[in-house]
Amino acid sequence: MKLLASKTAIVTGAARGIGEAIAIKFAEQGANVAFTYVSNGSTEKATALEQKLIALGVKAKAFQTNAGDYAACEIFVNDVLKEFGQIDVCVNNAGISKDNLLLRMTPEQWDEVMQTNLKSVFNMTKQVIRPMMKAKTGSIINMSSVIGEMGNAGQSSYAASKAGVIGFTKSIAKELGSRNIRCNAIAPGFIETDMTGYLKDGEGADKYKAGIPLGRFGTTDDIADVALFLAGSSSSYMTGQVLSVCGGLNI
């Protein structure tokens, strides 16, 4: 029996990187998947992923939706409900970084990171809890970061947004636990994606790896496996938790 059979999941920011791996993992386990991306440059990738998921035998659809835009999220969730009939799992994964030292950071850079990384989580969660409350079940998974727990020079906006995700996650867990809606966060360490492309090779990469007890960067599958655990019934007595998936970087 597949772990997410007859479930419908939303994954934001899934045209590439961690979101893509989660969408594939969920579909392999029988979930229907509605996913978002934002840029025109990712349309081809999103269409290819949609086809890949459908080939796995589930229903899947890509939506070009800005997760930072409240009205767009409302339309998206309504469309998903019309087409899929239910929403059991919501993975708030969409995120960006605009790293800069505070001295040089502009208010626009700060706002963009907050809107994409934190407001998006409010936008989407606010929409999905209605159908989840009706169904008396749901799992919300928010993508934080070890940087939100540890802080990092040059990443104050990113760290603040990801720490905000943790506070939001714990609050929603308390608000909605009695409705059997769970809300947990994942805090990845350095995961090999476009976002961390700058870490790929050379001395810089070795320096970062030296600080990771497991001695390697993570893969998108490392995160997708934990998302699958939080989405399904194996974690049914867990809410308000932050699972660090970082090779021990934060200890």
Q: Which is nearer to ligand NAP, 103 or 231 (CB)?
A: 231
Q: What are phi and psi of 46, to 5 degrees?
A: -65, -40
Choose the stretch contacting ligand NAP; rule: CB under 6 A; options: 124-132, 169-177, 184-192, 207-215: 184-192
Residues 207-226 that bind ligand NAP (CB under 6 A): none
User: Whole-number minimum distance, CB 10 to ligand NAP, in Å?
Assistant: 11
User: Whole-number minimum distance, CB 179 to ligand NAP, in Å?
Assistant: 26
Whether residue 198 lies in the annotated active site: no
Place of tokens 């992923």: 49
By CB under 6 A, name the one of 193, 235, 239, 244 that touches ligand NAP: 193
What is the spatial distance between Cα 142 and Cα 105, in angstroms, rounded to a whole number? 26
Cα 162 to Cα 24, 34, 60, 117, 159: the distances in Å are 24, 24, 28, 7, 5
Q: Which is nearer to ligand NAP, 28 or 149 (CB)?
A: 149
Structure tokens at 194: 């476009």
Tell me if 19 contacts ligand NAP by CB under 6 A. Answer: yes
Selecting among 158, 198, 208, 237, the annotated active-site residue is 158
Q: Which is nearer to ligand NAP, 2 or 98 (CB)?
A: 98
Nearest Cα neighbor of 217 from 234, 195, 184 is: 195
Core vs surface per residue 216-250: b (16+ CB within 10 A) or e: ebbebebbbebbbbbbbeebeeebbbbbbbbbebe
Amino acid at 121: V
Q: Evaluate whether 168 touches 126 at the Cβ level (below 8 Å).
A: no
Tell me if 66 contacts ligand NAP by CB under 6 A. Answer: yes
User: Whole-number minimum distance, CB 143 to ligand NAP, in Å?
Assistant: 4
DSSP letter for each residue of 105-143:
--HHHHHHHHIIIIIHHHHHHHHHHHHHHHHT-EEEEEE
Half-sphere exposure of 32 (CA within 13 A, CB side): 13
By CB under 6 A, name the one of 17, 131, 138, 164 that touches ligand NAP: 17
By CB under 6 A, name the one of 94, 140, 230, 243 that touches ligand NAP: 94
User: Whole-number minimum distance, CB 136 to ligand NAP, in Å?
Assistant: 29
Tell me if 36 contacts ligand NAP by CB under 6 A. Answer: yes
What is the spatial distance between Cα 70 and Cα 24, in angstroms, rounded to a whole number? 26
Residues 117-156 that bind ligand NAP (CB under 6 A): 143, 145
Tell me if 93 contacts ligand NAP by CB under 6 A. Answer: yes
Binding site for ligand NAP (CB under 6 A): 12-13, 15-19, 36-39, 42, 66-68, 93-96, 116, 143, 145, 188, 190-191, 193-196
Question: Which residues are catalytic, by number?
Answer: 158
